[in-house]
Amino acid sequence: MAVTEILKRSEAVANSLAALMRHDVETAVDLSSSYFGGAGSLYERETSSVVRFILDHEWSPDPAIPPEVLAPLRVVAAAMELWGQCEMSAFAEVSGVWAYAHDAETVTSLLYAAGVEQHRLQHLDALGVERVEIRSSELRPAPGCRATLGQSFPTRQAPLLPHDDPRCQCSYQAARPVVSAAM
């Protein structure tokens, strides 16, 4: 669906959230792209890929969170990708009792990070990268990250990132080739 009328940002965000709740990724991406003046750009495909993973994957940073509680957080995480926002509060507010390991904002941020990293992994695979390494931008990686840091995995068998630790700053990178000296 092409968005032909110019919407105020609040209307465009609200309409894109409604589209995401219906799993209508194309409309949500179109609304965001049109608002920013980039409708029909090459970035729409990339954005759609990230948004689809956020909405459709089953990974959870806390297995105790039921799917019906996680679903709206996935929508918010997808909206963060569409609108370039890093704060959950730009799209939703949490009400009620929250009794899980991580607060709702952290869970949403981890869902967003998982979408971005899964997209990166798919992109590396499409480029023909056979092995990836897990790297971190942190000088002191979180305890949950240390076990896989620097390890190389076949691209299609790499563990899902981020790790369950909310401080995880790990990402996939093409593995450095191993060169052996011939004697």
Tell me the per-residue pLDDT of 81-106, one tens digit each, with 9 for 90 and over. Answer: 999 887 888 888 888 888 999 999 99
Predicted model pTM: 0.85
Question: What pLDDT does residue 137 have?
Answer: 86
If phi over 0 gives left and psi between -120 and 50 gives alpha, with beta otherwise, what is residue 3? beta
Quick one: CA torsion of 118, 119, 120, 124, rounded to 10 degrees?
A: 100
Residue 174: which H helix or E strand, with range?
strand 170-174
Q: Which residues contact 72 (CB under 8 A, 6 or more apart)?
A: 21, 92
Question: What pLDDT does residue 28 have?
Answer: 95
Average pLDDT over the chain reads 88
Question: What pLDDT does residue 4 have?
Answer: 45
**Domain extents in the chain:** 9-127, 131-183
